[in-house]
A and B are shown apart, each in its own frame.
Chain A
Amino acid sequence: MKRRVLVGMLSAGLLGGIAYAHHSPATYDLAVTDFEVAGKIKAIEFRNPHSELVLIAPDKNGKPAEWDVEFSSVNLLVRRGWKFNRIKPGDKVTCIGNPAKTGEPKMYMWAIKLADGTVFAK
């Protein structure tokens, strides 16, 4: 149920024509909003015009890979209630959002699930 609500929120955001100031996720598959990758954060940068994290997780062939995970600007995340001190290198997290159209290990993240079950989303 929780998952359904979250996915619903993501879909509503996308279909509602949210303007991505800089980061049109045109290289991502917008039809898929609940793509999930679980792994360990190697590096993370909260900044403008967009934030980025590197996630160590298996690629589509099951081989360990460094995922390039792109997400919103620091200003928008603050307003959405994201707590940056709770998302750090070494943390095990699940990234949820749009996969790359090409199948490469990269994605646009709309929500993150922490090890204790906390979800930060749009």
Chain B
Amino acid sequence: MRRLLFPRIALLLLGCIVASAHSAETRGSIAGIWFPDPTRSERLRDAPYTNEGKATVDRFRATHHPVKDDPGAFCIPAGMPSIALGGADYPVEILETANQVTMLMELHQQVRRIFLNRQHPEDVFPQRNGHSIGRWEGNVLVVDTIGIRAVPFGAVPHSDEVHVIERWRRIDDGRSLVNELTIRDPKMYAKPVVLRQYYKAADADARMMEYECTEGRWAEHEKSLGITPAP
């Protein structure tokens, strides 16, 4: 009996090792620091606006100067899905833990949390980046996001009915990432909008930085109070 026990335990352990190796093989990884690659990425052109969508965007543009009234200059981020389309020259750091993929976007110090193998709650309070759930399909991370607050500016102006599906995967032997976004928003767009955003792997010595954005606004406030900042 005892002689049989050892080989059985050994077999069991071997099985666990093989199983974990197998799951590691079938689950990809997009972890690391990545820089947006504007040379390959796609942008929303000839947007298939609905009448309501066009009216929303036109109203914003008619009432806001493109430079003086740029929300970004007031440190207001556009949120999802614009955050996943561009980000100028600012990197994103992607961290993977057992139940979550976390995206730390340097621009505006935004964070996206993608909850793995979970469902959306029944009630989602709309926020800028919405509520994201994800699952691995082989080496592709599929992310489903709802509960996004309506924003009439940014790369993809949208209503609070917007639903975004992303498919993230490594390409170019792991040196690049591509995220294919399918954006459905029946209020704003007459048909789904599909856009691809590419990223390049950062150099090994690259590091993320903080992005404090409101210092200028605070300095203006102090100036309005007649306070001169110390040199």
Give chain A's interface residues, CB within 8 Å of chain B.
Answer: 16-27, 45, 47-50, 52, 73, 75-76, 78-79, 89
Contacts and interface: CB of A to CB of B under 8 A. Distances in A.
B212 A48 contact: yes
Contacts of A47: 212, 215-216
Q: Which 8 residue pairs are nearest across A and B when measured between Cβ atoms?
A: A22-B72, A21-B88, A19-B88, A48-B213, A22-B73, A47-B215, A26-B67, A75-B209
Contacts of A23: 67, 70, 72-73
Given A21-B88, A26-B67, A79-B89, A49 B39 contact: no
A50 B67 CA distance: 13
A75 B73 contact: no
B125 interface: no
Instruction: Classify the interface of chain A: helix, strand, loop or mixed.
Output: loop
B93 to A, nearest CB: 13
A27 B70 CA distance: 13
Interface string B196-231: 000000000000010111011001000000000001
B47 interface: no
A19 B89 contact: yes
B75 to A, nearest CB: 7
Nearest to B72: A22
A17 B107 CA distance: 18
Contact of B219 (A21, A26, A45): A45
A27 B68 CA distance: 9
Contact of B75 (A17, A45, A49): A49
B87 interface: yes
B73 A48 contact: no
A73 B90 CA distance: 10
A45 B106 contact: no
A27 B65 CA distance: 11
A73 B38 CA distance: 18
A79 B208 CA distance: 10
Nearest to B109: A48
A95 B39 CA distance: 28
A48 B215 contact: yes
Contacts of A25: 67
A79 B209 CA distance: 10
